[in-house]
Amino acid sequence: MPLSTGPVGPFPPGADPDTYDKLRRRVLWTMPYGLYVVGSRAGDRRNAMTLNWVTQLSFDPKLLGVAVENGALTSELIAEGGVFSLNIVDREDRAVVRKFTKPVEVDTAAGTLNGFGFHDGATGAPILDMALAYADCEVRRQVPTGSHTLFIGEVVDAGFQKPEDTAPLRMEDTRMIYGG
């Protein structure tokens, strides 16, 4: 059966669009997600932003995809600078992700983003010193996907900054919800 289209997108015939949209959101919220901090840089401008839409896209070359909301400073910096870092956060550091929901205060003299130490990765993108692990990426492609842009980056450097068996943060470890 073809789907009907309404103000909230396609929905099954006979279904109330608003009720169906709420159901669809609840279904999408059950998907497991990691919770990360993505670093971005263009010239002297740097930012770090909490992000959860991340996936590995290819083994050879090693490609990661990060979806960033259009209009976000991070989207602008990644598009302009062509680089990003993916900071994998320790589950015990869950509170840190709330510090990166708005554009950050950068103190280059102190080497901090919102008071958290960082260093520039091989690409120049900022890597949080407290990150469990990181992947430093050069953008290979940008794909518009509606409200977000999918940045496909090749991993040019990666490493652990804490023991490999440290548990990474997941969305379900917090009260945060994004998506749907």
Residue ranges covered by each domain of the chain? 1-31, 33-173
Looking at the chain, the whole-number percentage of residues with pLDDT higher than 90 is 75
pLDDT at site 2: 59
User: Is the pLDDT assigned to residue 69 strictly greater than 60?
Assistant: yes
Q: Could you tell me the pLDDT band of residue 15, with boundaries at 50, 70 and 90?
A: confident
pTM of this structure: 0.87
Calpha distance 177→62 (Å, rounded): 28
Residue 68 identity:
V
Q: How far apart, in Å, do the first and last CA atoms of the chain sit?
A: 23
Query: With respect to CATH, is domain 33-173 assigned 2.40.128.120?
Result: no
Residue 131 has pLDDT above 60, yes or no: yes
Residue matched to tokens 């960033």? 68
pLDDT per residue over 23-62, tens digit each? 888 888 777 788 999 999 999 999 999 999 999 999 999 9
